[in-house]
Amino acid sequence: MLDSIRKNGVTLALFAAVTTGVTAVINAVTKPTIEHQTAVQQKLLLDQVVPPEVYDNSIQQECYVVTDKALGNAKPHHLYLARMKDKPVAVAIESTAPDGYSGEIQLLVGANFSGKVYGTRVVEHHETPGLGDKIELRISDWINSFNGKQISGPDDSHFAVKKDGGDFDQFTGATITPRAVVNAVKRTTLYVETLPAQLSSLPACGENNE
């Protein structure tokens, strides 16, 4: 009986060791591929909000961390700096719309330092399917309404949904969601205008701040 238990124990231990070893090998082999694909997808997303023709640096390598309530909360947000001939010209910046119908809406906003929005993408949300989910590009092209829009200061009445007197469409039966996104993009773009004075002091991503 004891010999049987010992044999089973040894067998299980060997099986666990082999399984662990195989898993480690698979992870080691696939990790570079996964990291490469992740980087490719990130670059595609960044290029959707900041056109590649406006910058000539490796935007993914210029990642910084910013914290400001204008970005929807006091949590750290990533900022990707675009340069042309070494001059900062625009950013792609994470932002949060805290007042979505079903909770926070996570955004990526591309803008220059003069109030121009290049593009916006929703990267995470919990809005109602068939209503609020029209903020997703795969559902609707509504999010492209921000492309090329210019904000003329915090009192710009055009940068609002039509129900509030602005230029942006709301959704039938769902005004809260688009209003939250429009307001978040406006706050974020106005914040971007203040960034040039801060760029030299921003901590880089990974400097014990994430």
pLDDT in tens, 112-165: 999 999 999 999 999 999 989 999 999 999 999 999 999 999 999 999 999 999
Which positions of the chain have pLDDT values less than 70?
1-39, 208-210
pLDDT on residue 36 = 45
Instruction: Report how many domains make up the chain.
Output: 1
Q: Is residue 23 part of a domain?
A: no
pLDDT on residue 143 = 97
Q: Is residue 166 part of a domain?
A: yes
Q: Is residue 42 part of a domain?
A: no
First to last CA, the chain: 54
Q: What is the pTM of this model?
A: 0.81
Q: Is residue 41 part of a domain?
A: no
pLDDT on residue 206 = 82
Q: Is residue 45 part of a domain?
A: no
Q: Supply the range of the domain harboring residue 193.
A: 50-201
Q: Is residue 18 part of a domain?
A: no
Long-range residue pairs from 147-154, CB within 8 A, at least 24 positions apart, any chain? 147/117, 147/118, 147/119, 148/116, 148/117, 148/118, 149/116, 149/117, 150/115, 150/116, 150/117, 151/115, 151/116, 151/117, 151/186, 151/189, 151/190, 152/115, 153/115, 153/190, 154/186, 154/190
Q: Is residue 206 part of a domain?
A: no
Q: Is residue 80 part of a domain?
A: yes
